[in-house]
Each structure stands twice: as structure tokens, then as C-alpha cells.
């Protein structure tokens, strides 16, 4: 089998012509016959380069408003023939089909058209037929054809044409074929997902990401790890080492948590292993940071920090005293950024405004679990007072504050809050009582007074034991979903002790 094949003819038909001219000029310099159609044909002629119209090969004009241009045996035969198969070559000669060695094609911008909010008709017209067919044909026959399907590869293609004098190797052709099938499969997935969006009961899952970043390793050094996606659309890294697999999990948890507080007063969070170990809201960001750090200065070591406001120099000075892996903020003051950059490995990320995916996906057994993102944020409108005593205005603020943190903490969880500060949380426990005891013990170990604190639970209390333990520790107000057949037991205990309790009617499990 030939490893290198000289390109003698090329078919070029692209929607986006940016960066195409140098390739066309190099092909012309090498004496390659160029076939084209429509706007691309005109573009090549305007360069002063000779081009053969596809219509001159097929004897058919572009028809149906441009929907059919290249779909013809004289085009696809030229691409799909096997050059080392005598029968194929005899048929090419019999039907006067020209050999095509290079195909440069891109696709109509379907995803951009959908994202623009265009009408259904405009979207349908951006479903490419001829282009996708040409790409698949050329990629299938990579043994004899070089397929170029992405304008981002034009410089590489130009360098290849020059370095090989127009005779790319089989290895090169297969590499470009792989990229072509990636392009075509992603395109088809986008079309399916557009049509499937209105289907209530989806029968298939199509995932496709065009970008991949190889990570240093996975969750542990013996595991390989890769991030698929366009991370730079959400976060801009301005300093530090490469983001790791575990960093990304913590960053994801931090971003999702802080979105609950993004528009509010200055707020700071410190996360470790996907859970908040420190969290506080204050009038000044530096005070919010200090209150968050006080929540658990031990766990904060090596943690991920996130703020909902610009990090100023005063806050940066405090942060700089802590060893932390990542700092995330909407922006950094110039002085703050310079100071935080003093630790060469510290990862500094600027969070951009970007919409997170509407669905969450995780592997499960031999398949995937897909669900809607938990986009419900508990608010005062959700609250129903379950006890004789209603919580005060200040307690309601703390209850909702605690509930938002609870939503983003691993189940089973209990969150204890006082005056806009996370005092402690019990995370990932097999029983809610254990979670509460863990939270009380932790708060006490850092010297917090729980008298007047509030408690949030991610799910209902099946027995009154949690409110009993909480009251003994000093908690005086509770927020929980409610819904247990034994809710009344907890209500009765709270009434007897003059505690207030509200139900949200919304459970926030996180596993």
C-alpha cells in the first residue's frame, strides 16, 4: 500500500473562506487541478487562479436553491474510488469521472444558528447535506484522499503541502480522517439534540465535545484523566500551575455554590473535597473572607477559594497568608493580582458570565444517569411556617443562607449558621443524626457559640431526634423540606421548646 500519494486534483467547497487563500495559492503553484462550486468557486477565481466548476463535471447546475450542488456520482466516484483497484480505475475511465485526491470542505454553522435564536426554517437550512457527505466519503477513503474539514487546520495543511511537496503520507491522511469523523459525528449529534429537545421522553443520549484537555492524572496518580469541554468560556486562568482533575471537581462545586449568592452582598466560600468548610457574607469582602476562614481554618489548608465580588488588595493580603490551591473571583484588583501571583503554583481564575448545562450526567454501572440540574433556590416564598412561633426576619435570612449551603453539600448533611456565617456542617453521613452531631462537635471545636443558631437539613426528619439534639446545643430555628409521615413529632417538640421551624417542600439531596 502506498504511504504517500501525490495530490493532482482537489475539490474545495467551504462556507467560511477565512484563511483559505494561501492553500489555494500553494495548490496552484504545485499544478493541482482545482474543482469548486458556488461562492468558493468565485472566491478562487477572484484570486486569479484557474478553477473548474463542479457543474462542468456533472452537467447539472446547482438546484433547489443550492440544496443540491455536489451530490453526483461524478463527484463521489472521484473521491471514493480505490486507486490500487483496477476495476475502479476502469469505471472512472468509462464514465469520465475525474480523480479527486484532496477534499477541503466545511459545514454550515448549524450550532451558531441555533444559538442565535433563528427561526426553525433558518435552522433547518443550516443542516448541511452535501458537505457532510463529502467529508464522510473523503475520510472513508483516506487511503487515497486527504480530507480537510476544519479551518483551524488550514495552517497545518499548508505546512504539510509545502513540506511534502503535495504528497502527504498515509499516516497524515488517516489523522485528518479521524478529525473529519469527529467533526461529522459532533455535527450530527448537535442536529439530533436540537430535534430531541422538545421530546419529553428521550430515547437516546448523544454527547459530543470538540475540545479535550489531558490532565496530569485523574483522581489519583495511577489514573489517567481528561477534561472534555470549553473551560475557557467559563473561567480564564491568569496564573498558576495546570488545573488538575480534583481541582476541577472542587472548582465545579465552588462555582455552583457561589451562583446562589452571586448578586448578593460580598460573600466568600472556602471548599475542600467539594464541600464548603467556610462560608460567610459581610458588608466588606475582607470581612467575609475572615469569617469564612474562621469556620474551619484547618480544612481551609489547600482548599479552593471563591468570591462573588472583585478581590481587592486588603482581601488578597489575608488570602496570601493561607496555602490554597485555587482562588476564583469575577475579577482581581491589579495590586491584589500581583500579590496573589507571588505563589507560583497558586491557580487564579477569573469567572466569566456563562450558562451552565441544564442537565447533569454521571456514569452508572454500564450506562449513564441524566437529570435536570437542581435549579431551585429556596426563597421566602417557598417557606411555610410549621410551628406556633414564626422565625424572626434575621432568622429567616440565616435559614435561607443555610439552606443554600445545604443544597450544595454532600448528603446526608446538616448545616449550622449564625449571623451570615457557616459555623459547621455535617457532610456525607449515613444518618442525619450523625451529620448533626458531627456539625455540633466541629462548631464547638472552633469555639463557636451555637445559642441562637439556625439549622438546615437537605431532607426531612423521620423522627424528632435531630430537633431534640439541636435544641440542646442551642439551635432555635430550623429549615427543612418536610414531608415525613412523622413531621408532627418534630413540630410538637419545637412547639414545646418554643423553637421555630419552616418547611420548604423541596428536598436537596446531593450524592
Active site residues: 140, 273
DSSP secondary-structure letter at 158?
H
What contacts 54, CB < 8 A, 6 or more positions away?
11, 13, 35, 36, 37, 41, 69, 70, 72, 75
259 by DSSP, 3-state: which?
helix
Q: Which helix (H) or strand (E) covers residue 406, if one does?
A: helix 393-407
How many Cα atoms sit within 13 Å of 6 on the Cβ side? 6
Residue corresponding to grid cell 458570565: 353
To 5 degrees, how large is the angle CA 166–CA 3–CA 92? 75
d(CA 254, CA 370): 21
Rounded alpha-carbon distances, angstroms, from residue 496 to 21, 23, 250, 262, 411: 82, 83, 42, 38, 29
CB neighbours of residue 123 within 10 Å: 18
367, with CB counted inside 10 A (0-12, 13-18, 19+), is exposed
Pull the grid cell for residue 171. Answer: 499516516
How many residues are given for the chain? 511
Compute the chain's Rg from CA coordinates: 31
What contacts 147, CB < 8 A, 6 or more positions away?
103, 105, 135, 138, 139, 173, 176, 177, 180
DSSP secondary-structure letter at 478?
E
Among 129, 178, 122, 120, which Cα is nearest to 149's?
A: 178
d(CA 195, CA 198): 7
Amino acid at each position: 500500500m502506498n504511504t504517500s500519494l501525490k495530490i493532482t486534483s482537489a475539490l474545495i467547497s467551504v462556507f467560511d473562506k477565512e484563511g483559505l487563500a494561501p492553500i489555494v495559492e500553494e495548490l496552484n503553484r504545485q499544478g493541482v487541478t482545482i474543482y469548486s462550486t458556488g461562492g468558493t468557486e468565485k472566491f478562487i477565481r477572484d484570486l486569479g487562479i484557474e478553477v473548474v466548476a463542479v457543474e462542468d463535471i456533472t452537467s447539472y447546475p446547482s438546484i433547489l436553491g443550492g440544496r443540491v450542488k455536489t451530490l453526483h456520482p461524478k463527484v463521489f466516484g472521484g473521491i471514493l474510488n480505490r486507486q490500487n483497484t483496477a476495476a475502479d480505475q476502469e469505471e472512472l475511465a468509462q464514465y469520465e469521472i475525474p480523480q479527486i485526491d484532496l477534499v477541503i470542505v466545511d459545514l454550515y454553522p448549524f450550532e451558531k444558528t441555533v444559538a442565535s435564536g433563528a427561526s426553525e426554517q433558518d435552522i433547518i437550512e443550516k443542516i448541511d447535506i452535501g458537505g457532510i457527505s463529502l467529508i464522510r466519503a473523503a475520510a472513508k477513503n483516506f487511503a487515497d484522499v486527504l480530507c480537510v474539514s476544519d479551518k483551524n487546520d488550514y495552517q497545518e495543511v499548508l505546512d504539510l503541502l509545502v513540506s511534502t511537496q503535495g504528497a502527504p503520507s498515509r499516516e497524515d491522511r488517516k489523522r485528518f480522517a479521524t478529525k473529519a469523523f469527529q467533526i461529522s459525528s459532533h455535527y450530527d449529534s448537535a442536529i439530533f439534540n436540537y430535534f430531541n429537545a422538545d421530546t419529553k421522553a428521550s430515547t437516546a443520549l448523544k454527547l459530543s465535545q470538540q475540545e479535550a484537555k489531558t490532565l496530569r492524572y485523574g483522581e489519583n496518580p495511577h489514573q489517567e484523566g481528561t477534561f472534555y469541554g470549553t473551560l475557557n468560556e467559563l473561567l480564564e486562568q491568569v496564573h498558576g500551575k495546570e488545573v488538575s482533575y480534583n481541582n476541577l471537581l472542587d472548582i465545579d462545586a465552588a462555582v455552583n455554590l457561589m451562583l446562589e449568592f452571586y448578586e448578593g452582598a460580598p460573600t466568600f466560600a472556602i471548599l475542600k473535597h467539594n464541600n464548603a468548610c467556610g462560608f460567610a457574607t459581610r458588608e466588606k469582602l475582607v470581612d467575609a473572607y475572615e469569617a469564612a476562614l474562621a469556620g474551619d481554618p484547618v480544612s481551609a489548608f489547600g482548599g479552593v477559594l471563591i468570591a462573588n465580588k472583585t478581590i481587592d488588595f486588603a482581601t488578597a493580603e489575608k488570602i496570601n497568608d493561607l496555602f490554597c490551591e485555587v482562588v476564583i473571583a469575577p475579577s482581581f484588583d491589579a495590586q491584589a493580582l500581583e500579590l496573589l501571583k507571588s505563589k507560583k503554583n497558586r491557580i487564579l481564575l477569573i469567572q466569566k458570565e456563562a450558562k451552565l448545562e441544564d442537565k447533569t450526567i454521571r456514569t452508572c454501572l454500564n450506562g449513564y444517569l441524566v437529570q435536570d440540574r437542581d435549579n431551585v433556590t429556596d426563597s421566602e416564598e417557598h417557606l411555610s411556617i410549621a410551628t406556633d412561633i414564626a422565625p424572626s426576619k434575621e432568622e429567616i435570612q440565616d435559614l435561607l443562607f443555610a439552606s443554600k449551603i445545604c443544597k450544595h453539600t454532600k448528603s446526608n448533611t446538616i448545616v449550622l449558621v449564625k449571623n451570615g456565617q457557616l459555623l459547621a456542617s455535617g457532610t456525607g453521613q449515613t444518618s442525619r443524626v450523625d451529620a448533626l452531631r458531627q456539625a455540633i462537635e466541629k462548631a464547638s471545636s472552633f469555639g463557636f457559640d451555637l445559642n441562637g443558631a439556625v439549622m438546615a437539613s437537605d431532607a426531612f426528619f423521620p423522627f424528632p431526634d435531630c430537633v431534640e439534639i439541636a435544641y440542646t446545643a442551642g439551635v432555635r430555628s430550623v429549615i427543612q423540606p418536610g414531608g415525613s409521615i412523622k413531621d408532627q413529632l418534630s413540630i410538637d417538640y419545637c412547639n414545646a421548646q418554643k423553637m421555630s421551624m419552616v418547611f420548604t417542600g423541596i428536598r436537596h439531596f446531593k450524592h
